[in-house]
Amino acid sequence: MLLGKKFIVTLGLLSSVIFVTTTAMKQGADEVKKFKNLKVLPKNISEKQLDAVMDNWSLSLGVRCGFCHARNEETKRTDFALDTKPEKEMARQMFRMTANINKKYFKAGKDSLGMVMEMGVNCNTCHKGGAHPEVKAPENPRRGPRPQGPPSAQQPTTPPAQ
């Protein structure tokens, strides 16, 4: 009976070692994976970090991968390295813009990969789930909404009595 317990304990320890080794190898592979054509994101970004960035951008704009990334017609799959869609370059420009705003006005620092740690503005600040953010003039609460039409058709408004 003692031999059976030793066997079970040994088998359990061996299983634990295999599990830990496999998990460590998977994490190590995630760290080593190199992505093609990264121009604004760090070259040493992990797959998990890249997925998080792309998910954030996708949700902020209310779009899917194909909005920026082109399909390779030979493989019939999305080719993330292709630069054929202008939306991809626009995303890069917008990323640079928000990074510059955050650095200049919000003193946002960067982590060891060069990613902005704390941001004052991000994609969602303007896009709010829309691929193309709405440009809209603010309403003046004292005068109501801005009149529509040419200036000659607009009636002058008087401010409310105080």
Give me the CATH number covering residue 81: 1.10.468.10
Burial class for 91, CB neighbours closer than 10 Å (0-12, 13-18, 19+):
buried
Domain annotation covers residue 3: no
Q: Are 49 and 113 in contact (CB under 8 A)?
A: yes
Domain annotation covers residue 13: no
The total of structural domains in the chain comes to 1
Query: How far is 43 from 111, CA to CA, in rounded Å?
Result: 14
Q: Which residues pair with 72 in a beta bridge?
A: 77
Each residue's pLDDT expressed in tens, for the chain with a length of 162 residues? 556 666 666 656 666 656 666 666 665 554 557 899 999 999 999 999 999 999 999 999 999 999 999 999 999 999 999 999 999 999 999 999 998 998 888 877 777 776 666 668 999 999 999 999 988 888 887 776 666 766 665 555 555 565
Give the structural domain span for 61: 45-131
